[in-house]
Structure 1
Amino acid sequence: MQRLLACLDVSHYSQTVCEHAAWAAMRLNASVELLHVIQRNDARSELDGAGLAAKPGLLDEVMALKAAEGRLAERQGHLLIEAALDQLRARGVTDIELSLREGGIVETIAEREAFSDMTIIGKRGAQADFAKGHLGSKVERVIRQSRKPVLVATRVFKAPQRIAIAFDGGPSSRLAVDYVSTSMLFGGLDIDVVLVGGYTDGNAAHIDWAQTRFTGRAGVKVLQREGNPDAVLPQVIRERGIDLLVMGAYGHSPLRNMLVGSTTTQMIRAGQTSVLLFR
């Protein structure tokens, strides 16, 4: 059985993370781990940094406040994952594990990802309402380090009916095509394979390769457009009524990171469509 890791925080995106997780779980017959991470800060280090650690009684007072904050965060975490549990059950998901953990968010997600087939995370984190249009640094770090598919959920969920694969012929985009062409997650959905680039022999070979992966499958269309991916992909999404974009994530080399990574960030930051990313 496949397993999904749904990452929750106190932002509005937890609702849509649950909705995306339920949609994927029902289509894949998958289990879901609901994960919330509580971050702890060291009071002495904070006071040392402010030059206040030596003030009499201050450390004890701050430690007491930190302990109260910790208890509140733990209670808030329990309420959050219990509400998420109710949401998943209401949508028909039955195999659910609850995980409330302490530590670094990125590090804990990386640890739990090892036991999952896909990670689902909100487009922005707990500071979402204060940083509109900005991809939170922790979300970006999760995407960059992940070795499993990452589904980045937008604030409003819509069950996908038509998806687009941003395809450039590279390893990560070929992995995306292979996944889409074989996974039950996309069974019966309309699929657009979109290559942005000139009409070269190399791109023609890429298109031929992609078409062979969908031989005999209805509802698949291959599109080729010239231009800048940052401009062309949003245009295709609007014109074609795309509900979910599938694409390769950040590359490893500095050059590929500059060319591919910037498009990844742009599509997540500015787009109104959820994005499924592959490394």
Structure 2
Amino acid sequence: MTEHVVAAIDGSRFSEGVCDYAAWASLALEAPLTFVHVVDNHSAVPGEQNLSGNLHFGAREHLMEELSTLDEQRAKVNREQGRLMLEAAQKRAVEGGVSAPLTRQLNGTLVETLIDIEEDVRLLVMGKRGETAHRASDHLGANLERVVREMHRPILMVPPTFKRPEKILIAFDGSKTARKGVDMLARSSLFKGIECHVLVVGADTSEHHLELGWALGALRNAGHRVEGGIRAGKVDETLQAYAAQHDIDLLVMGAYGHSRIRHLLIGSTTTTMLRGSHIPVLILR
């Protein structure tokens, strides 16, 4: 079965970034690209409102019929808007060099739909927030948070504007699963020719130096240019400060088993790291 780079497209300001990062990943990985738009016709159902009030039965029945008609019209509009967005994304990707990107329009809720097609996903590309992003600029989309928690494929969370990655930062905690993540990155064509930085957040101990040395060696042996360091502090603040200091273009983190970094993504501070990042974040599972 061929696994695709899958890009979740909606009407948010993040869609162009999603399209461009997905096209970049598709070309780098030599993997087919599929744009997905999910039509959720149940996100706001007028029929669920309290219509009892002082309406007599006949008026209420008539109103419910009208609301049902409006629902059908809204669903039709949603599908048509989605089709146009998918066509625009497909055209943009072709102009960016992608050969024959596919499009899929699916019905349901975003998270459940993505989980249903998980077997087809090699990399999922999403914006930080969805179509209501303008209403709360500092709010991390609930859909993204649920996808991070429930999917078991790599997820690339992207900003609204594309910048070709030239330097990446890997958050490394030395755990067995973190090492698997570094091995995977070392072999991946996604970051071929890109400078890799590795940061261990913690005390300056001999154990951390050994962990850092292993990660740098694994990446260097795979042909990457590497730098790294050990810094004490809060994980999210330390990673963000390092990224700013070194002009990092993309942050790589792992939602790993029971490692220390896992608590940043699956625990209560999930939103802190993702909300504060102004660069793409690749979340490895």
Could you say whether these structures have the same fold, taking a TM-score greater than 0.5 normalized by the shorter chain as the test? Answer: yes
1:75 Cα shift? Answer: 0.6
Q: Is the 8 A contact 2:3 2:120 kept in 1?
A: no
* 1:232 matched residue in structure 2: 238
Q: How many residue pairs end up in the alignment?
A: 278
Structure 1 residue 256 displacement after superposition: 5.2
Amino acid at match of 1:143: V
Aligned partners of 1:238 and 1:255: how far apart in 2?
A: 20
Distance 2:129 2:43 in 1: 25
Deviations 1:75-112 (A, max 9, x none): 10110000000000000101321100110110001112
1:6 Cα deviation after fit? 0.5
Secondary structure, counterpart of 2:125 in structure 1: strand
The aligned residue for residue 154 of structure 1 is: 159
Preserved contact between residue 37 and residue 104 of structure 1 (Cα < 8 Å): yes
Residue type of the partner of 2:281?
Answer: V
Q: Paired residue for 1:5?
A: 6
Gaps of 5+ in 2: none
Structure 1: stretches of 5+ with no match in the other structure:
none
Q: Does the C-alpha gap of structure 1 residues 134 and 207 become closer, same or farther in structure 2, counting only changes over 3 Å?
A: same
* Alignment CA distance shift 1:35-1:257 (3 Å): same
* Residues 172 and 267 (structure 1), Cα distance of their counterparts in 2 relative to 1, 3 Å cut: farther
Corresponding position: 1:183 with 2:188: yes
Task: Confirm whether residue 59 of structure 1 aligns to residue 60 of structure 2.
Answer: no
Q: Are the structure 2 counterparts of residues 148 and 168 from structure 1 closer, same or farther at C-alpha, using a change threshold of 3 Å?
A: same
Tell me which stretches of 4 or more aligned residues in structure 1 moved more than 4 Å. Answer: 250-256
Instruction: Give aligned-pair identity as a percent.
Output: 35
- Map Cα deviations across residues 29-50 of structure 1 (whole Å, 9 max, x no partner): 110110000001298x753551
RMSD: 2.4
- Which position in structure 2 is the counterpart of 1:28? 29
After TM superposition, give the deviation of residue 168 of structure 1 in Å: 1.0
Alignment-derived partner of residue 274 in structure 2: 268
Matches within 5 A, 1:1-279: 2-41=3-42, 46-52=46-52, 55-216=60-221, 217-249=223-255, 257=263, 261-262=267-268, 264-279=270-285
